[in-house]
Amino acid sequence: MARRTLTAAAPVSEPELKAFARVAGRLLLAQAPRGAGTQALRRRRGAGLTPVDHRDYLPGDDLRWVDWRQSARLGRPIVRRFQVETSADWLLCVDASASMLAGHLWHRAREISTALAFALLDGGNRVALRLYAERVTGLCPFGRGPAHFARVARLLATHEPPQHGADSVLGACVAGISGRPSLFVISDFLMAEDPTGDLGRLAEVCGQAYALQLRSSRQHRLAERGPLSLVDVESGRRIAVQSGLTVERSAVAAAEALTARLRQFCAARKIAFGTADAAVAWQHILLNHLRQKVA
């Protein structure tokens, strides 16, 4: 991959991206979808089938894979197993609604998306990016290579969520998906509707799904004390609360409940789910999330 094509518009510096790609490459490939009896390896251009190890012959195995030399040496039929060059299509769905402006969520989501796209593209995958609010507000179709990363990075760098309004509807990303790409959703999942519905529909049309929930203390911290009229930045709904530590604790509990519900839903749908505080560096967020999945 020609590094010179990296755009200066990327929210993450090039050395950071390279360092992350080296570490995250193996983690991403370890989780890449592959067929039975294959091992995930980095795809090399022009590379063919490469034997990896052997095993005993089982009925049904193709006789072309019998290693006659080993069979003669061991006195029983042995077949070869091969490395399979794998590549995948990755769809990055990033929440770009107004709620992501709180607590640098959008900034962190942009960093994570950029780094993830770089690592995936560096691994030879095709990557598409969809920024969504109440609809898809930013779109970068599937592509691969440095030039495509430049498009992805430019879109992420130039896109800004609206200051208010624009409810987040994850289901808006469902349209137009084909080929069951791998899915990576980055969002705060603070939606008027239950996010599990859209997430479930999205996971159905994708091969493997990842969901990363970004959280921030700003989501439940109230800057003022006393009775307040809280206005939802997206829907504009108002509720009256008596601000205080109890209220904030209640909000934290509600956030924890949402996370638990998402985690339970994702576990049932085999969606890799993780949550992270936006105050944490993006490298830690991504590596912890990928390492957790590998473990």
Partner 1 sequence: MIAFSSPLWLAGLGLLPVLWWLHRRASRGRTLVVPSVLLFRQAQAAAGDAHGVRRLDASFWRRAALIACFSVALAGPGIQGRGSKVAVWIDDSLSMRSQEPGGSRMELGCRILAQSLTARGAVTATIESLSEPGAARRVTPPFSRESVCGDRPIGAPQLPLVRLMGRGVEHWLLTDGANPVVNAWATQAPLSRIVQIGKATENAALTRLAARASLADSTRLDLDVEAANLGTRVARRTLTVTRGTTQVSSAPLSLNPGAQVALRLTLPVDGPGALTARLDPGDALADDDLLTLDLSQAAALAVRIDPACAAPVRAALLANPGIAAAKAGGTSDITVTCSADLAPADPGFALRRGGQSRALDSRPRWLDLDLIDQMRVQIPLDRLHLRVWDHPLAAHPRDEVVLAAGDTPLAIRRAGFTHTLETNLDLEDRELAADPSYPLLISALLERATGRELAGGRVDARRLAASRIAPVTTLAAHAGAITAPARLDLTPYLLAVALLLLALELIFAALTLTRDWRFYRQPS
Q: Which residues bind partner 1 (CB under 8 A)?
A: 98-99, 101-103, 164, 188, 190, 192, 215-224, 226-235, 237-243, 245-255, 258, 277, 279-280
Minimum CB distance to partner 1, residue 101 (Å): 8
Handedness of CA 50, 55, 58, 63 (dihedral sign): positive
Question: Residue 289 CB: number of other CB atoms within 10 A?
Answer: 23
Backbone angles phi, psi at 84, to 5 degrees: -110, 125
Question: Residue 271 CB: number of other CB atoms within 10 A?
Answer: 22
- Residue with Cβ nearer partner 1 (2 or 240): 240
- Residue with Cβ nearer partner 1 (71 or 259): 259
Minimum CB distance to partner 1, residue 215 (Å): 5
Distance in angstroms (rounded) separating the CA atoms of residues 96 and 159 = 8
47 CB-near residues (< 8 Å, 6+ apart): 85
- Residue with Cβ nearer partner 1 (74 or 280): 280
- Residue with Cβ nearer partner 1 (121 or 212): 212
Minimum CB distance to partner 1, residue 190 (Å): 4
Q: Which 8-state DSSP code applies to residue 8?
A: T
Handedness of CA 84, 140, 13, 208 (dihedral sign): negative
Helix, strand, or coil (residue 225): coil
The answer to whether 96 touches 132, Cβ cutoff 8 Å, is yes
Minimum CB distance to partner 1, residue 107 (Å): 14
- Residue with Cβ nearer partner 1 (12 or 255): 255
Minimum CB distance to partner 1, residue 238 (Å): 7
Distance in angstroms (rounded) separating the CA atoms of residues 102 and 120 = 28
Residue with tokens 């209640």: 250
The CA–CA distances, whole Å, from 283 to 20, 119, 234 equal 7, 12, 29
Minimum CB distance to partner 1, residue 213 (Å): 11
- Residue with Cβ nearer partner 1 (6 or 278): 278
The answer to whether 161 touches 195, Cβ cutoff 8 Å, is no
- Residue with Cβ nearer partner 1 (30 or 228): 228
Minimum CB distance to partner 1, residue 280 (Å): 8
